[in-house]
Amino acid sequence: MANNYTATDAKNDLKDTANNVQNDVREGMDKLSSGARDAAENQGLNADSLKKTASDAVDQAKAKGQEYLETARERGAEYADRARSEADRLYRAGEKKVGEVAHYAEDYYDEVSDMVRRKPAQALGIAAGVGFLVGLILARR
């Protein structure tokens, strides 16, 4: 049976991933700013060491962002594959149903044709009655 993973589920997963990235970047920036402030106030570090600390933090943020980007791409490809396979499954099921309906329509057509050949007066009366009712319905609109 098909997996019941919907487009809404995929959308929610991607939103969660985006929120995680946003939170991680915020945390990294907060750590960077507090670390720089603490280093400058408490340890009396020079500008070069602060630049190095900031550069390291930026590199870590970039690496983390790249990880999340790759994860989002992988999930997107996975969701696209799932959607494609589900669409194929639904298409095949639709084709099967169309074939069944066509078969039943052919059977009913044959039955109606046989009845009209056997009882043409009755068929003509039924057709006239149905036409009269359709005319009344359409005239009231």
pLDDT of residue 1: 44
Instruction: Give the residue-averaged pLDDT of 113-117.
Output: 90
pLDDT at 96 over 70: yes
The overall average pLDDT reported for the chain is 82
Does residue 99 fall inside a structural domain?
A: yes
The number of folded domains in the chain is 1
> pLDDT tens-digit profile of 68-83?
888 888 888 888 888 8
3-class DSSP string for 38-85: HHHHHHCCCHHHHHHHHHHHHHHHHHHHHHHHHHHHHHHHHHHHHHHH
Does residue 86 fall inside a structural domain?
A: yes
Does residue 1 fall inside a structural domain?
A: no
pTM over 0.85: no
* pLDDT top residue among 65 and 120: 120
Does residue 51 fall inside a structural domain?
A: yes
pLDDT of residue 125: 93
Calpha distance 84→86 (Å, rounded): 5
pLDDT of residue 13: 78
Q: Which domain holds residue 134?
A: 7-139
Does residue 2 fall inside a structural domain?
A: no
Instruction: Give the residue-averaged pLDDT of 53-78.
Output: 82
Does residue 78 fall inside a structural domain?
A: yes
